[in-house]
A and B are shown apart, each in its own frame.
Chain A
Amino acid sequence: MGKFVRLSKGFDIKLKGKPSAQVFDLEMPDTVSVKPTDFQGLYMPKVLVNQGDTVQAGTPLFHDKQFTDISFTSPVSGEVVEVVRGEKRKLLEIRILADRKTEHKAFRKVSVSDLSTLPVSELRSQMLESGVWTQLIQRPFGIIADPNVKPKAIHISAFDSSPCAPDYSILFKGQDHFFQAGVDVLKRFTEGTIHINTISTLEISTLFSQVKGAQVNKFHGKHPAGCVGVQIHHLDAINKGEIVWTINPAGVIQIGKLFLNGVYDATKIVALTGPEVKNPQYYRTVQGASVKKLLAGNLNSDHCRVISGNVLTGTQIGKEGHLGYFDHQVTVLTEGDYYEFLGWILPTVNKLSFSRAFGLLSFLNPSKEYKLDTNTHGEERSFVQSGVFEKVTPMDIYPVHLLKAIMANDVDEMEALGIYEVIEEDLALCEFVDVSKHNVQEILRDGLEMMRTS
């Protein structure tokens, strides 16, 4: 029986540019990119292809030297055109010139009934080889799941609560069959429960409500209710020494397709959102696609920032950049590089704030959508504990003290205060509301890396 969890803390950022429900089929992008930087905790990626090689969807492009089993594969077929490296030859991207029509590398096709009888080792090796394994994320630390570990449970967040988030019932429409197969496969990897966490305010799509072999929980509350870390905390919190896996429904479906169809299918639907987009809506494209065609003729101004992901955790990619591996959303904002005369004190109804401090009137109109930009609205200052972090963290965790423990490099204190239970997205709102404008997520990642490598 699923649990019902009511969360009272949190904040929904009402951003202009919510996607309308249409889905547009985008033609194949020119280039597609796979970025090791989308993944946390890689030790040293080693490139397995050369410039000029032709690859199929599912051909390994690189692997990590520490876990050579886990392949990072090409989402499309085509020619490797560029291996982009940064400082100290750090691998940043592998770009592929995509074929018009994708050729898939053939993997073993399995019937639904075989999913529960095939040896786990065979399931695992096909997942590792094909590239779907990297969809599995391990908590603590938010890194790619270790294939040799049995997780305590697997959690799937079935909704996205972040600003202008895509609606999962549109993203995964008609994929029930594959989702079920994916769940059947995942079931083989754990003796614990598979949790599917839905939101109470929307009608749950049959994809999640009809699934067998998993526990469907309901959450009620504002962002970050959709963050899987928050959900785990309330369902079955992570203790020291425990390992939990998380996976997006997209990953589950990809696993299902791998076994039922025998292909590595990297097509996905993304939502193009944000105040700078003319027609915010959904587009069918492919993982790692260049956003050039997506944005063509669709922007209100040139002076904007293109983000793969949402405005809280996304990555700036530029107008010709490529989608992030885990992202189902592209957000476009105005760059906020302007000075504002007496901007720190003038009353305003056009700026969004969690606070109700003098002159910040957004609380009077809670349903208004705002045209937010990237301005920091203030300068970095000393840390002042205004108690506001706690109000946007619906967990039994003291974020301020945890962050201070990280800054003090105090590993024992970090552990005691619950660093195993969070990753960046769970505390992203703290960064948004911070009066002193600190980079909370960056600090947290430093702490996580410190814990992981200590």
Chain B
Amino acid sequence: MKFLRNQLDKVKHNFEKGGKLEKYYYAYEAFETFLFAPNTTTHGKGVHVRDAIDLKRLMMTVILAMVPCLLFGTWNIGHQHFLALGQTGTFGEKILLGLGQVVPLIIVSYGVGLGIEFVFAIMRKHPVNEGYLVTGMLIPLVMPPDIPLWQVAVATAFAVVIGKEAFGGTGMNVVNIALTARAFLYFAYPSQISGEVWTLLGEGAKTVQGYSGATPLAVAAASTGNVMNDFAQFGSGWAEGIYSLNNLFLGIRPGSVGETSTLMCLVGAAILIITGVGSGRIIVSVFAGAYAMGLLLNVIGGNPFMEMPAHYHLVIGGLAFGAVFMATDPVTATHTGTGKWIYGFLIGVFTVLIRVFNPAYPEGIMLAILLMNVFAPLIDYFVLNANKNRRLKRATV
């Protein structure tokens, strides 16, 4: 440690004011603070002690919460691959295959995103913010397993530059950055991110007889009779019971890398809530909103998807993942406590509405969160106004 510190101190003067590499100071600072927590002390007036938490640790906690989803997703890629091909693979083979897809995704996402962050930090002379550590992990988790890497790179660049830096950088963005990347792909390269792209098959692979790569959402949307029956029959001959409620909850099904398992998302939610890093209010209210809307549609009836039992909405698609990791983004969510209930609930409601009534795109959570990101300031505005009015009322009584 001493050696590292000495090496850092040796080169530090080059980056400080007047040094020959002065303009790269913030790049140096990012590395230095990664290795060593800084030696700065509090000011002479104000608080003299500070909480042990910093932004890096906060972000690391979120990443930690995503690890269960990541690990499960890695295995699931392999598992779905062998299922589709009608082969049996060992646990190791499945993991290996999954890693082969996931690791490049993560490298590209972090490489491109952090590269842009550093460039902007140097250009604008501000510190490299740690927010991207989370975004960089979220992006791979919401991608289909066999997405071309160049598309991930383009989407990441778009999201960071247009979604974040154009608005002024970390803390200023209006919409969630990882979802911006995902939405960009959806609108720019629809063929690679919709339809039956959710299982990694491999070049020229021959799928097992009766195979279909349709996701539960696609099955539900296409249903003409009873969604429950369609779910029960799906996979017969090659993957019995793949869309049973149990299996859907566990997440052993095709989908984006990290989104399939409701169970793993709930583990992540538990980590976020126990550590106090993520907002439990948002997570709970997204589920509540989706469930309530599902129930309402059950009552109205009209088509098979509307009649699908409401609790199925909670385990299909990316609702759980979106609720736990995307909706809770502190920058783009509402900032007031009351606002969080409203914000989350509406995300749930819109997710189900979009799923059921939008024929073009079966998954609703992405669009619902992006929509509510835009409305979050408005919700806060009303909550704050209520606070101001209470104060005014008190003054006039």
Contacts and interface: CB of A to CB of B under 8 A. Distances in A.
Interface of A: 13, 15, 163, 237, 239-241, 305, 307, 311-316, 331, 333, 335-345, 348, 351-360, 362, 372-388, 390, 396-398, 400-401, 416-418, 424, 428, 431-437, 439-442
Contacts of A387: 279, 330, 335, 337
24 contacts: A237-B394, A312-B49, A315-B44, A316-B48, A337-B40, A340-B37, A357-B277, A362-B52, A375-B37, A375-B40, A375-B42, A375-B50, A377-B54, A378-B33, A381-B54, A381-B170, A384-B171, A384-B331, A386-B58, A396-B390, A401-B384, A416-B388, A434-B51, A442-B46
A383 B126 CA distance: 13
B387 A398 contact: yes
Contacts of A397: 387
Nearest to B2: A341
B188 interface: no
Interface of A is mostly: loop
A13 B170 CA distance: 30
Contacts of B206: none
B50 A376 contact: yes
B216 interface: no
Given A356-B276, A374-B42, A386-B330, A341 B36 contact: yes
B61 interface: yes
A355 B388 contact: no
B47 A398 contact: no
Contacts of A313: 46-47
Contacts of B40: 337, 375-376, 379
Interface in B31-71: 33-58, 60-61, 64
Nearest to A437: B50
Given A344-B56, A358-B275, A379-B33, A385 B335 contact: yes
A431 B130 contact: no
B120 to A, nearest CB: 12
Nearest to A315: B45
A416 B52 contact: no
B13 interface: no
B337 A432 contact: no
B33 A344 contact: yes
B169 interface: yes
Interface in B117-139: 126-127, 129-131
Given A239-B394, A341-B1, A384-B55, A316 B276 contact: no
Nearest to A351: B52
Contact of A342 (B35, B274, B336, B384): B35
Nearest to B36: A339
A356 B274 contact: yes
A233 to B, nearest CB: 11
Contact of A382 (B29, B58, B170, B388): B170
Contacts of B49: 13, 15, 163, 311-312, 333, 352, 372-374, 432
A56 to B, nearest CB: 32
Contacts of B61: 357-358
A451 B275 CA distance: 38
Given A381-B127, A417-B387, A441-B45, 10 more contacts: A241-B395, A354-B51, A357-B276, A378-B37, A378-B57, A385-B171, A385-B330, A416-B388, A417-B384, A437-B54
B387 A344 contact: no
Contacts of B37: 339-340, 342-344, 375, 377-378
Interface of B: 1, 4-5, 29, 33-58, 60-61, 64, 126-127, 129-131, 169-172, 274-277, 279, 330-331, 335-337, 380, 384, 387-388, 390-392, 394-395
A390 B380 CA distance: 14
A240 B52 contact: no
Given A316-B44, A382-B129, A356 B275 contact: yes
A441 B61 CA distance: 28
B39 A337 contact: yes
A56 B48 CA distance: 35
Contacts of B388: 416-417
B39 A344 contact: no
A450 to B, nearest CB: 18
Contact of A435 (B5, B43, B54): B54
Contacts of A388: 276
Contacts of B29: 379
**Which of A344, A360, A373, A433 counts the most B-chain CB atoms under 10 A from its CB?**
A344
Nearest to A373: B49
Contacts of A13: 49
Contact of B51 (A240, A305, A353): A353
Contacts of B171: 382-385
Given A337-B41, A401-B384, A435-B55, A374 B276 contact: no
A432 B51 contact: yes
**Which of A339, A345, A441 counts the most B-chain CB atoms under 10 A from its CB?**
A339
Nearest to B273: A356
A428 to B, nearest CB: 6
A362 B131 CA distance: 25
A360 B53 contact: yes
B391 A353 contact: no
A14 to B, nearest CB: 11
B337 to A, nearest CB: 6
A307 B58 CA distance: 30
Q: Which 6 A-B pairs have the closest CB atoms?
A: A378-B54, A343-B37, A351-B52, A239-B395, A316-B44, A382-B171
B122 to A, nearest CB: 16
**Which of A345, A362, A378 counts the most B-chain CB atoms under 10 A from its CB?**
A378
Contacts of A335: 41
**Which of B33, B47, B172, B336 counts the most A-chain CB atoms under 10 A from its CB?**
B47
A377 B50 contact: yes
A381 B169 CA distance: 11
A333 B41 CA distance: 12
Given A339-B36, A341-B35, A376-B42, A333 B57 contact: no
A387 B282 CA distance: 12
Contacts of B64: 358
Contact of A384 (B60, B131, B391): B131
B51 A345 contact: no
Given A239-B391, A372-B49, A418-B391, A379 B38 contact: yes
Nearest to A318: B44
**Which of B49, B380, B390 counts the most A-chain CB atoms under 10 A from its CB?**
B49
B391 A416 contact: yes
A435 B53 contact: yes
A129 B272 CA distance: 59
B54 A398 contact: no
Nearest to B45: A315
A13 B47 CA distance: 12
B47 A312 contact: yes
Contact of B57 (A338, A358, A433): A358
A401 to B, nearest CB: 6
A291 to B, nearest CB: 15
B48 A333 contact: yes
B331 A355 contact: no
A133 B320 CA distance: 62
Contacts of B336: 398, 401
B337 A375 contact: no
Nearest to A236: B394
